[in-house]
Amino acid sequence: MALIVQKYGGTSVGNPERIKNVAKRVAKFHAQGHKMVIVLSAMSGETNRLIALAKEVSANPSPRELDVVISTGEQVTIGLLCMALEEIGIKARSYTGGQVRILTDSSFTKARILDIDGDNIRCDLDAGAVVVVAGFQGVDEVGNITTLGRGGSDTTGVALAAAIQADECQIYTDVDGVYTTDPRVVPEARKLDTITFEEMLEMASLGSKVLQIRSVEFAGKYKVKLRVLSSFQEEGEGTLITVEEDKNMEQPIISGIAFNRDEAKITVLGVPDKPGIAYQILGPVADANVDVDMIIQNVGHDGTTDFSFTVNRPDYDKAMKILEGVQTHIGAREIKGDRTMAKVSIVGVGMRSHPGVASRMFRTLAEEGINLQMISTSEIKISVAIDEKYLELAVRVLHRAFGLDQATS
């Protein structure tokens, strides 16, 4: 008998029929004697609908009230799943984030979980009930409703599993595991049986939305056994996120390719080439809560230089506005922007022991005539910023060039 947390994403609870199917799967595990805690997302499309609704009323809604609105989707699905479970004779109780007391900080729309009180849940489990918890939401110290950022139900699932010391956290979604890249973009992508936390963290932070990055951080920190599986298949082992790379196996050089469409690039031209200039440009950007990703400062000539960086596309207008103020202040010649950038990254722990990975990546992209506008590397990843229109081509050719199309066994 095990204590299992299962999280079901939006597509998996997208209509009443699917909710009944989830109930059947949960019933199967319950019948085997396992204690079951279920975390749900809102029905697919619902969170987007709620955000759009808010934007119709207010162009710039208060983050506190936005969270009041966008957290409601999950309250619907947890109630419905409990009804479906009761229909098939299983005792079930739903909890909103506040009812569990998933305590978060007060950063509305991107709150961080600080603590989870597992007492109610343990009590219900001991009484033989299935516990169904709303993903994506919590409460702050004074009882305000908060949400955890898009895709945040993954994090609720893993954090709950850590808090109640579950034996396993299973993330059920609309694909049957973590693939070498998004299988919707590259049909030849292969499902991975295992992927290391390190790699999964990079993949998630570089755009693979199959797991929210914070859920992977939690699982790594609290040693939660984490698996990604399909809610549409009866069988299948999915993908296990592992702590260690498998020493018995020859490591592939690259495990996966991640990408993000939502990038924008800003270049400040003719900046005086003197100490403190990066701070003068990026300080005000950071103060406005805009994340900066890749940064390049060119070699100076004639006492001036050019300075480029990327931001998330939704922050582009805000960043450009801030820089208009900065431009006069530092005496830069011109500011240029491009809001249609994308980032492609290759990820793999095997990179550590294989030289020449970067040159193979650059050659592959050059052969397709794809211009690399920015490059950044770490020990286990190489990212390039390119024009968005080449994104799918870039992912496909890299997938092939690094042998990810082929079966390994």
Binding residues vs ligand ADP (CB under 6 A)? 9-12, 41, 151, 173-175, 178-179, 181-184, 208-210, 256
CB neighbours of residue 292 within 10 Å: 16
Q: Is residue 10 at the binding interface for ligand ASP, with CB under 6 A as the rule?
A: yes
The minimum distance between CB 220 and ligand ASP, in angstroms, equals 19
C-alpha neighbours within 13 Å on the C-beta side of residue 136: 26
Residue nearest to Mg ion (CB): 151
Task: Collapse the DSSP code of 116 into the 3-class scheme (helix H, G, I; strand E, B; otherwise coil) and give the result.
Answer: strand
Which residue, 97 or 348, is less far from ligand ASP as judged by CB? 97
Q: Is residue 136 at the binding interface for ligand ASP, with CB under 6 A as the rule?
A: yes
Residues linked to residue 250 through DSSP beta bridges, in sequence order? none
CA–CA dist 350, 333 (Å, integer): 44
Type of residue numbered 189: A
Q: Is residue 70 within 8 Å of 151, Cβ to Cβ?
A: no
Beta strands in 101-251 (DSSP E): 102-104, 113-116, 130-134, 137-139, 145-147, 168-173, 194-196, 226-230, 239-242
Which residue, 6 or 12, is less far from ligand ADP as judged by CB? 12
The minimum distance between CB 175 and ligand ADP, in angstroms, equals 5
Partner whose footprint covers residue 179, from ligand ADP, ligand ASP, Mg ion, none (CB < 5 to 8 Å by kind)? ligand ADP
Q: Is residue 42 at the binding interface for ligand ASP, with CB under 6 A as the rule?
A: yes
Choices 149-157, 164-172, 226-234, 323-331; region in contact with ligand ASP by CB under 6 A: 149-157
Taking residues 145 to 184 in sequence order and writing x for each that binds Mg ion by CB under 5 A, - otherwise, the string is ------x---------------------------------
Q: Tell me, letter by letter, the H, E, C secondary structure of 318-330.
A: HHHHHHHHHHHHH
CA–CA dist 186, 397 (Å, integer): 10
The minimum distance between CB 155 and Mg ion, in angstroms, equals 10
Helix axes 46-57, 63-70, angle to 10 degrees: 140
- For ligand ASP, which residue of 4, 23, 37, 73 counts as binding (CB under 6 A)? 73
- Closest-CA residue to 109 (of 141, 151, 160, 143): 151
- In sequence order, the 6+-apart residues with CB closer than 8 A to the CB of 165 are 3
Which residue, 215 or 267, is less far from ligand ADP as judged by CB? 215
Q: Is residue 194 at the binding interface for ligand ASP, with CB under 6 A as the rule?
A: no
Residue nearest to ligand ADP (CB): 9
Can you tell me which residue has the tokens 């200039």?
A: 277
Q: Using CB under 6 A as the criterion, which residues of the chain lie in contact with ligand ASP when the complex forms?
A: 9-10, 41-42, 47, 73, 135-136, 150-154
